[in-house]
């Protein structure tokens, strides 16, 4: 189930230094790679380890090649971004052994008569596909999934088991939606009358571009009147909540447990660490990076890294520092009083 | 699919100034409303925009009417709370085009012989309804939902696709439970014996009142011995966790990702911003408002707004401030030393 | 449906002081226990309440027995850990009335021809069990569950309704996985090439030991190349996220909404309060306790309690303290300036 190096380079590019007939069985990290593996050097600090590696072949950046080839005897594939090359090679090896769901609709699925399911798509057991929904070529709808009325799943997109994809929402090509995710749930919108909440119907949609990945148990609200938009290449991890009318810019990535309140507009190429939170109606420009556990309470107009979480300490120490934080006011007043006194003391007579 | 203004006012109240035969196709915000729309002015700061609006009709509060009517030519509906009127009107327009699930049980659903499903209720594909469960008039059980033994779903309440509603739990009338929510999961209760946890059976229920909305992927634990109680009109957003034996007071609303630990008792008319957390066994009185991202670690006995999150900064600045926070103790000691020295300096000789 | 005290002691141990023929109908807390109940005293501070209790029988520690028996007239079961005894007794009473799912496969379930389902196991309605999966003796697969290819569910383990358990993952004996949990979702692993993310296939597994409890809507990622490991006796509450390649040590417990980023290695006998967060690639030793809402941003090498969250305050007070926290730098500089000035003032001339 392996592949020849020549075939790998033909598919993925890179410059091969070695025998194209050499066969490798799989890809492994430097620390584990043996004589049947291809490995990769993505961090120049590990050059010595790479040079001593027992891997059959190595993916190396030109900047590290001179050092590596001085002692390393195996084949080398030169590529400017060995880590990206590794990812593509790993996809290639994974595909060799992957069990691809067969085209067709499981007899236990409930598919509306006027839903359009491409003949090359797979619909798993106990899935429900409502009227007017469109399932693209090669798409996979896992067991127990729900695809609502007039929703559209793009070609090659996969919904793993137990995904809920509500009416009129859309996702483009080559996406992945993991189990338990809910796309197009109602936004949290109410008018208040004498303390009682009156629901505002949420009639917008969720529109997702191509190459979008949505993590397990992540939820994305449909827009209230307009739409919630997830642009191309966005990657959301598990347990994320995206409020109604948000826009997440292309190629932005969010780690697990992030929350984004309604109508936030987030730029392209941003990253959010786990459990970061974004308040509603904010704007965040492109290339902003939010550290884990940080609360974004104001718009961010300048690219860069932002952080805001209370530093961890032994509990007894935290008790002390938290008590002072509560009374920083008093501390500031003391300093002001000191400054005043000293001013008096140092005043020229 | 529109409606005449006269019909709207007949249903929703308000004082119409204009032609009752005038037909409007839908409702739109001030910025978008055209000649076929009704719009609304809920924020007096937008009076000028309202007065210049091209909407066929406007919902206006009496306090703004004199200003608006001076230049606005369309019809007006006077109501003391235009935003609530908007919500009701939007519900009315949404209902005109809504596709209501047909009464009856989908042939692929599994319904126990002794479950009581009202003939006007809808049970979707692949739903499971266990023995003794009661599904009220006009209730909707979405595709893939599970309703456990002896559970009760009140009249007009809707469970969207893939909701799990466990045995013996109850929800009243006109509720909504969004996809992926789990009601009545076991509370997190264990006895510890030599480091090993021994499960304490969770035999209570979740009891929910009327007009309760539960968000997607929200989880509510059943009580350990007594019950977890969610009172009338409570609105919970997505991804919220409510621990066992909590009580959430009527008309309290929580935004996404909030967590409430076990046995917390929360008052009526409270609001919780996203990702706020409440420790267990606390009491929070009525009309308390917790800001997003805040940790409630003590009971709150006084109404008002409470906050506690670390302010966001550029990462380099946060590094500095966090380092000082870790050593606030030392800073306080320095101030004390200064005070002492100055006391000596200023002591009358 | 009750039990005789003699039978209880025979099953659960402890030293009975009283009539073994005495029958009790159930177990209740001290405050509620009546003449048909057995109750327990786990907190010595409640000795007076126990001594005055109307319970038919009491579980008491030897250290409290002298005090209690002086006035309490009912039967007593002496046990060194009355709370653990209570948990086991409650399990016993719960089992008396529990409705155990019947062995066998529901006709609406989809079970692959070559899946191995033990004849004593239960597979509920609309469940899907893929090729090569193994379901152990007495295991319960709830309605709507998905068990992927070659996965293994140990004997006596229960998956409640709507659990997703992906291919090749394993759980041992006597576990519980609550509704909506997703085991073995892809880890969040990408290579970045010019801003665009390239997915790294996640080919590892999730391996869980015996007596593991997983809460509702909790998600556990499969490893990238190696496996994610959850050791024996781990208890995870609801809405928890565990990243790829993590290892959670035996008998560690995490409360709701905790997040653990990838490759974190957590020791045995640890506890995590609700919404605590752990960054990736950290190591935490045994017997570490993290308070709720705390962010663990560095490895912890010493057992103990750690905390880090911003203290809650009235919003107006928080506004003041947060503004100062943002400028602690300036405050430190002022103190330094004061120190310098005073040094000059106090310098011997």
C140-177 pLDDT tens trace = 999 999 999 999 999 999 999 999 999 999 999 999 99
Query: How much of chain C exceeds pLDDT 70, in percent?
Result: 99
* Chain B contact set for C333 (CB, 8 A): none
A144-185 pLDDT tens trace = 999 999 999 999 999 999 999 999 999 999 999 999 999 999
Residue A55's contacts (CB-CB under 8 Å, 6 or more residues apart) are: A28, A30, A33, A34, A35, A37, A38, A39, A74
pLDDT at B1: 63
B102-154 pLDDT tens trace = 999 999 999 999 999 999 999 999 999 999 999 999 999 999 999 999 999 99
Nearest-CA distance C255 → chain B (Å): 8
* Fold of the domain spanning C104-306: UDP N-Acetylglucosamine Acyltransferase; domain 1 (2.160.10)
Q: Are strands A176-177 and A213-214 parallel, antiparallel or unpaired?
A: parallel
* Chain B contact set for C216 (CB, 8 A): 164, 182, 185, 219
Answer CATH for B3-97 from 3.40.1390.10, 3.30.1360.180, 1.10.287.110, 3.10.450.50: 3.40.1390.10
A108-127 pLDDT tens trace = 999 999 999 999 999 999 99
pLDDT at B153: 98
pLDDT at A348: 64
Token reading at A260 = 């984004």
pLDDT at C279 over 90: yes
pLDDT at C217 over 80: yes
Helix (H, G, I), strand (E, B) or coil at C100: coil
Residue B152's beta-bridge partner residues? B134, B170
* Chain C contact set for B345 (CB, 8 A): 342, 345-346
**What is chain B's mean pLDDT, rounded?**
96
DSSP per residue, B37-60: EEEE--SGGGHHHHHT---SEEEE
Question: For residues C17, C18, C23 and C24, what is the CA-based torsion angle, rounded to 10 degrees?
Answer: -50
Q: How far is CA A307 from CA A297, C291, C328, in A?
A: 11, 20, 15
The residue written with tokens 């070659």 in the block is C150
Region C24-45 average pLDDT: 93
In chain A, the residue whose alpha carbon lies closest to the alpha carbon of B323 is: A311
Nearest-CA distance C25 → chain B (Å): 15
DSSP character for C300?
B
pLDDT at A339 over 90: no
Distance CA A261, CA C306 (A): 30
pLDDT at A346: 74
Per-domain boundaries in chain C: 3-97, 104-306, 315-346
Distance CA C166, CA C187 (A): 13
C244 part of the active site = yes
In chain B, the residue whose alpha carbon lies closest to the alpha carbon of A238 is: B239
Q: How far is CA C182 from CA A116, A217, B311, C168, C215, in A?
A: 29, 8, 34, 13, 10
Residues 178-217 of A with CB under 8 A from C: 178-180, 213, 215-217
In this prediction the ipTM stands at 0.96
B90-99 pLDDT tens trace = 999 999 989 9
Cβ pair A274, A253 in contact under 8 A: no
Nearest-CA distance C32 → chain A (Å): 36
Give the active site residue among C122, C126, C244, C301.
C244
Query: How much of chain B exceeds pLDDT 90, in percent?
Result: 91
pLDDT at C349 over 60: no
Please tell me which of the candidates C182, C186, C296 has its beta carbon nearest to residue A217: C182
In chain C, the residue whose alpha carbon lies closest to the alpha carbon of A332 is: C331
A255-283 pLDDT tens trace = 999 999 999 999 999 999 999 999 999 99
Please tell me which of the candidates C182, C192, C195 has its beta carbon nearest to residue A216: C182
Residue A72's φ and ψ, nearest 5 degrees, are: -75, 130
Region C194-209 average pLDDT: 97
pTM, full prediction: 0.97
The residue written with tokens 């106090």 in the block is C346
Give the active site residue among B178, B244, B251, B281.
B244
Q: Are strands A304-307 and B313-314 parallel, antiparallel or unpaired?
A: antiparallel
Residue C182's beta-bridge partner residues? C164, C219
Distance CA C154, CA C172 (A): 4
């Amino acid at each position: 189930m392996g592949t020849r190096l020549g075939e790998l380079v033909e598919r993925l590019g890179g410059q091969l230094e070695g025998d194209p007939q050499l066969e490798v069985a799989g890809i492994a990290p430097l620390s584990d790679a043996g004589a049947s593996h291809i490995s990769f050097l993505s961090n120049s600090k590990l050059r010595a380890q790479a040079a001593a590696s027992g891997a059959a072949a190595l993916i190396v950046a030109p900047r590290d090649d001179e050092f590596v080839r001085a002692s390393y005897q195996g084949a080398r594939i030169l590529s400017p971004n060995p880590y990206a090359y590794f990812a593509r090679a790993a996809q290639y090896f994974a595909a060799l052994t992957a069990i691809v769901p067969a085209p067709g609709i499981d007899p236990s699925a409930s598919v509306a008569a006027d839903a359009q399911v491409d003949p090359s798509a797979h619909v798993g057991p106990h899935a429900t596909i409502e009227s007017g929904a469109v399932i693209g070529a090669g798409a996979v709808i896992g067991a127990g999934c729900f695809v609502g009325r007039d929703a559209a799943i793009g070609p090659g997109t996969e919904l793993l088991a137990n995904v809920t994809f509500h009416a009129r929402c859309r996702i483009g090509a080559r996406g992945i939606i993991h189990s338990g995710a809910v796309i197009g749930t109602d936004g949290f919108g109410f008018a208040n009358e004498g303390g009682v909440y009156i629901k505002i119907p949420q009639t917008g949609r969720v529109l997702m571009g191509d190459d979008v990945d949505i993590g397990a148990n992540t939820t994305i609200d449909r827009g209230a009147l307009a739409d919630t938009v997830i642009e191309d290449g966005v990657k959301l991890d598990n347990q994320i909540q995206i409020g109604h009318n948000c826009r997440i810019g292309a190629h932005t990535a969010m780690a697990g447990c992030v929350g984004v309140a309604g109508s936030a507009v987030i730029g392209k190429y941003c990253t959010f660490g786990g459990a970061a939170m974004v308040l509603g109606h904010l704007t965040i420009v492109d290339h902003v990076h939010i550290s884990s556990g940080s609360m974004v309470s104001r718009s961010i107009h300048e690219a860069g890294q932002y952080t805001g979480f209370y530093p961890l300490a032994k509990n007894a120490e935290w008790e002390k520092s938290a008590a002072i934080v509560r009374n920083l006011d008093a501390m500031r007043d003391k300093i002001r009083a000191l400054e005043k006194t000293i001013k008096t003391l140092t005043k020229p007579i």
